[in-house]
Structure 1
Amino acid sequence: MASPANRSEPVRARNARWRGALAVLEEMRRESGVTRAAVARRLGLTTGSATEITARLRDLALLAETQAATSGRGRPTTVLGPHPEGPLVVAVDIRQEDWRCAVAALDGAPATVEAEAHADRDPAAVIAAIGRAVRRVHDRHGHRVRAVSVAVAATVRSGGVVQAASLGWDAVDLRALTADPRTPLLIGNDATLAGVAEARLGAAAGAVAALHITIEVGIGGTLVVGGRPVDGATGAGGEFGHLPFGDPALRCPCGARGCWDLTVDGRAIARHVGDPPPRDPRTYALEALRRARGEPAVRAAVDRAAEAFGGGLAGLINALDPDIVTLGGLAEPLRAAAEPRFTAALTDGLMRFRRADPPPVVAAVLGEAGALHGAAAAALDHVLTEDGLNAWAAFVGAGR
């Protein structure tokens, strides 16, 4: 297993044969429906070079061209898109209550092909169900599938799951998710991958340092600098929910005490209301946000969770210095439900010099698809390399 690649800049190919091709394909990934003329202008290519590169990519079933709509005078151009017989990647998102399996072409847009609630949270049962879905994709598309990338609600270290507190898992082996052992398997934390997608494609596109925070069951997130997540020496960084911002009397399922996780999600709201711990904290939180409009006790519990969220976020801003913060999952609905309390806690927690010009805190735009987009991006980072294109060219040359 391998950790997801975390590049945003175009690959520096050793072989000049692929340098221009990779740059063109990166532009196609960056902007859906980009024209050949726009790509040539951005990359400083002559018309002849752009024509030659795109023709070679067409011949290798990597790129397709369609006539662009005419807009006034000038030479007609084409719109670039993935070839209908080109490489594909499988993106999987394993969440607390369900899983999704999607397929993406070289434009990186994941199309969900199967999704299912967990009939049983036993890891063997979950992995077996997803493995069957991945095998069906392989059966349908064969060697066009070049990588399988998994986003999982878990702590990921050195390319493997070491703990998934919300699923009740410790270390699990996900190698059964590849139908073909020759197909690379990439494993990443779901919040990290969602943050990468938001920084490359979403509300934080173009930011130097983007902090992504999501609330589902607990808090996840990542700091993305230049399109790369800052995930530590082994890939296990970004476990913001396990910072000791909470009540030290509370033991977290992760094993630590005082985790921030336990102060902001549905478990915290239920505890403040006096309800028993919910089996599905996410659904409980959504219902509590709705009930807060008419039930004072629930309103007070939501306010407390929002305050804990705002104060902890201030600490992350002080420590990490992002130029934008994006909120995914339930983070934005929680802020919106108790905005004055959230903002007051955030402002009070910021260092004085930051208060006049704090980073904008905005809603993520990719929504529940963020982790799938990030998983697809990680897989394509792996495929769109000199070695990856050489392997694909050999496959095409052998008659596919």
Structure 2
Amino acid sequence: MSIISGASTSTAADLRRTNLSRALRAVHGARGRLTRAELGRELGCTRATVGALVADLTAMGLLAETVAAATGRRGRPTTALLPSADGPVVVAVEIATDAVRVASVGLGGHLGDVERAALRSGAVPHVVGVARDVLDRRLAVVGPRCAGVGIAVHGVVDRTTSAVFAAPGLGWADVEVDVVGLLGLAGARWAHIDNVAHLSAVAETVRGRARGVGTVLFLHAAVGVGGSLADRGRPLRGRRGLAGEYGHLPLGEQGLPCRCGGRGCWETEVDQVALARAAGLSATPATAAAAAADVLARARSGEPAARRAVERIAAGLGRGIGALVTVHDPDLVVLAGHGADVLAAAPQVVHDAARAATVPAHRGGPPPLVPSALGVDGGLVGAAEVVFDHLFDTLFDAVPPRTAAPSAAQPAEGAR
């Protein structure tokens, strides 16, 4: 009898934890405020169950209710559910080629207090030092509400070790940089590090144009070109997390030397450095963003030389996209960063080149090709979402059936 009773208790506890997690995920991922009825429909729960979940999450300091917009109907005013302003916070960090950015992200996924610190060089000690200073200041502000740290790097991250072993835009090659450890996060807080393209793909499927889409090809260009293939919101990272290094496919026509040590890589003909070169400018990884922006601005004003340079890059970008569409057959292609800028500047050139580079089966109905909805913030948003995903999986592990739950600060401190 005791065995049956114990099993029932365990089942009830597991069900409660699962429902709490699902409810908090739903509120976190909602495009707007949810009513109790809408939450019930999404979870497939009764009104009584929804009421109990809302009460529990409110008591934990994770949820708040407010009066919803008036509907004009008689009866009690409808309330709307929204994340608590005092709930756990994820600190998101982006290490790019020219700067380090940091943001505080609360439940609901909105970036707050975004700070940018410029990099004077790509030397590992300098980059890590700037990142650690920015991160330490933010952690001091967030305090015990910190649920973890997500880090997006413009480089190659080995998922088996979490080490960055290449970041060509920073000049990192044949290295193994333990960024998590050097930032003082090993064993202190739950931390996740990944390539910016993988994390931007996560962000786009959770909060951007790829939400609810099956297979998404995401391409992020700046200094270099990276990407990710996401299936139902999950990036396909490969054995070591190296999938999506599309910029190093031999799709270039000129056989130009690449920062990776190879020749003829696709990114040598389509990234920001390539655009500057096509316009007759000399640019380094550190100056490429400004140079590319200048060329795009002159092209918009009608300058013929700049326009020709943009169209040349657009044709190379489209040609590579067409090849990738042939390989992956995605439902949607999303461009971010420099790629989105080139698409906006010469959309017809990109589309025509992409269509011409696909097999005939795709030419009549190619997948939509759209710019990212999140722009430069995709890496920060994705870095935070991965940590929140872990948090939702673990936050309620210690919550027993219908007993007092921990405060919002407790799971934040205990996250790993």
Q: TM-score, normalised by structure 2?
A: 0.87
2:168 to 165, 171, 175: 165
Which consecutive residues of structure 1, in runs of 5 or more, have no partner in the other structure?
A: 1-12
For 1:63, the equivalent position in structure 2 comes to: 63
Note the 1:1-400 alignment, pairs <5 A. 15-31=14-30, 32-71=32-71, 72-73=73-74, 75-158=76-159, 159-170=162-173, 171-174=176-179, 175-178=181-184, 181-247=187-253, 249-278=255-284, 279-292=286-299, 293-385=301-393, 387-390=394-397
Q: TM-score, normalised by structure 1?
A: 0.90
Evaluate the alpha carbon distance shift between residue 126 and residue 391 of structure 1 in structure 2; reply closer, same or farther with a 3 A threshold.
farther
Question: In the TM superposition, what is the alpha-carbon distance from 1:149 to its structure 2 partner?
Answer: 0.4
Q: Give me the whole-angstrom Cα distance separating, in 1, the residues matched to 2:221 and 2:13.
A: 42
Evaluate the alpha carbon distance shift between residue 112 and residue 189 of structure 1 in structure 2; reply closer, same or farther with a 3 A threshold.
farther
Q: Give me the whole-angstrom Cα distance separating, in 2, the residues matched to 1:147 and 1:136.
A: 15
Structure 1 segments (4+ residues) deviating >4 Å? 391-400
Q: Give me the whole-angstrom Cα distance separating, in 1, the residues matched to 2:410 and 2:235.
A: 37
Question: In the TM superposition, what is the alpha-carbon distance from 1:203 to its structure 2 partner?
Answer: 1.0
Cα contact 1:230–1:237 (8 A) shared by 2: yes
Equivalent residue pairs, number: 387
Q: Deviations 1:265-312 (Å, cap 9, x if unpaired)?
A: 232233333333444222211111122344333322222111110000
Q: Deviations 1:143-195 (Å, cap 9, x if unpaired)?
A: 22121000110111122211100111233221233457330110011122111
Aligned to 2:116, the other structure's residue is in SS state strand
Evaluate the alpha carbon distance shift between residue 295 and residue 113 of structure 1 in structure 2; reply closer, same or farther with a 3 A threshold.
closer
- How many percent identity over aligned positions? 36
Cα contact 1:37–1:77 (8 A) shared by 2: no
Q: Give me the whole-angstrom Cα distance separating, in 2, the residues matched to 1:178 and 1:128.
A: 11
Cα contact 1:317–1:350 (8 A) shared by 2: yes
Larger Rg: 1 or 2?
A: 2
Aligned to 1:250, the other structure's residue is in SS state coil
Q: Give me the whole-angstrom Cα distance separating, in 2, the residues matched to 1:212 and 1:189.
A: 13
Question: In the TM superposition, what is the alpha-carbon distance from 1:74 to its structure 2 partner?
Answer: 5.1
Q: Give me the whole-angstrom Cα distance separating, in 1, the residues matched to 2:396 and 2:120.
A: 39
Q: Give me the whole-angstrom Cα distance separating, in 1, the residues matched to 2:131 and 2:255.
A: 38
User: For structure 1, which segment, 123-132 or 196-205, has the greater mean C-alpha deviation from structure 2 after superposition?
Assistant: 123-132
Q: Deviations 1:87-126 (Å, cap 9, x if unpaired)?
A: 1111111111111111111212221342211133322222
Give the residue type in structure 2 aligned to 1:112.
Answer: D
Aligned to 1:383, the other structure's residue is in SS state helix
Q: Give me the whole-angstrom Cα distance separating, in 1, the residues matched to 2:207 and 2:249.
A: 28
Give the residue type in structure 2 aligned to 1:132.
Answer: D
Q: Give me the whole-angstrom Cα distance separating, in 2, the residues matched to 1:85 and 1:302.
A: 47
Q: Give me the whole-angstrom Cα distance separating, in 1, the residues matched to 2:358 and 2:51.
A: 53
What RMSD, in angstroms, separates the aligned Cα atoms of the two structures? 2.3
Give the residue type in structure 2 aligned to 1:23.
Answer: R
Give the residue type in structure 1 aligned to 2:164.
Answer: V
Which consecutive residues of structure 2, in runs of 5 or more, have no partner in the other structure?
A: 1-11, 400-404
Q: Give me the whole-angstrom Cα distance separating, in 2, the residues matched to 1:109 and 1:50.
A: 25
Q: Give me the whole-angstrom Cα distance separating, in 2, the residues matched to 1:255 and 1:90.
A: 34
